[in-house]
Amino acid sequence: MGEAIETLATETLAIATLAVDIGGSGIKVMVLDHQGNPLSERDRIDTPAVPTPEAVLEILQQLAAGKTFDRVSVGFPGVVRRGVTETAANLHPDWIGFDLAGALIQQLGKPVRVANDADIQGLGAVAGEGVELVITLGTGIGAAMFLNGRLIPNLELGHHPFRKGETYEEQLGRAALDEIGKRRWNNRLERAVDLLERIFNYDSLYLGGGNTKKIDFVLPVNVKIVPNVTGLLGGIALWKD
């Protein structure tokens, strides 16, 4: 019996996870060990100009080629339920109702779990204490909320009203940044941080995504910028039942 337990523990330690982050501008992958430590470099390919499921799956096949892994974790920019993508505002309408987990199981021949990308980034960032909010600033705006480390899934705060009849994503997404410039975008983000604290009374706010490098105002002490790689490292948490 003892030998069986020891063998099972050794097999668990040897499990490698292919972490995938599907974004509006880039698709990234990295292989992680059982603790979420990187076993490979972070590889990236630009998201296709027409990001249909077929086009994205083709890129994922390229990124997975030559890598050794036992299972797959995927972060997707939209609502995900039981592996099916229900929204995809920054990708393509064909994603609505698409069984991404099932398609990847067939394509890669490994177990697959899929979750909202901000949820996964949050799983890699939060401390597990009190109310923690995660906002990702990229092509769109992602959001995740945690209570004592427990995820409240599919918050999709980016599509909630923010100001002047527009949503957070319309006011703070990459298109808005390109249109109004860095200074005005920072003014909007500072307002959003203040508003979100008053709405959610969070203990900590984590800001992730590629546009965090554009932030140039002093953040409150309970607000922290997390690196982009967190969106991959959090993928291991999908397997912690």
Q: Which domains does the chain have, with CATH numbers?
A: 2-116 (3.30.420.40), 120-231 (3.30.420.40)
Give all strands (DSSP E) within 52-140, no chain letters. Answer: 71-76, 80-81, 84-85, 98-99, 112-116, 131-137
What pLDDT, on a 0 to 100 scale, did the predictor assign at position 5? 42
Q: Which helix (H) or strand (E) holds 104?
A: helix 100-108
Tens-place pLDDT, residues 63-84: 999 999 999 999 999 999 999 9
Residue 241 has pLDDT above 80, yes or no: no
Residue whose tokens read 């984590």: 206
Nearest to 40 by CA among 208, 225, 235: 235
Nearest to 159 by CA among 83, 78, 81: 78
Residue 229 has pLDDT above 80, yes or no: yes
Residue 12 has pLDDT above 80, yes or no: no
Contact 66, 50 (CB under 8 A): no
Mean pLDDT, range 34-60, rounded to an integer:
95
Mean pLDDT, range 122-130, rounded to an integer:
93
At residue 171, what is the residue type? Q
CA 200 to CA 197: how far, in whole Å? 5
What pLDDT, on a 0 to 100 scale, did the predictor assign at position 156? 85
What pLDDT, on a 0 to 100 scale, did the predictor assign at position 143? 94
pLDDT band at 11 (very low <50, low <70, confident <90, very high): very low
For the four alpha carbons of 113, 54, 97 and 210, in that order, the dihedral sign comes to positive
pLDDT band at 230 (very low <50, low <70, confident <90, very high): confident
Tens-place pLDDT, residues 200-219: 999 999 999 999 999 999 99
At residue 86, what is the residue type? E
CA 229 to CA 88: how far, in whole Å? 22
Mean pLDDT, range 100-127, rounded to an integer:
95
What pLDDT, on a 0 to 100 scale, did the predictor assign at position 6? 41
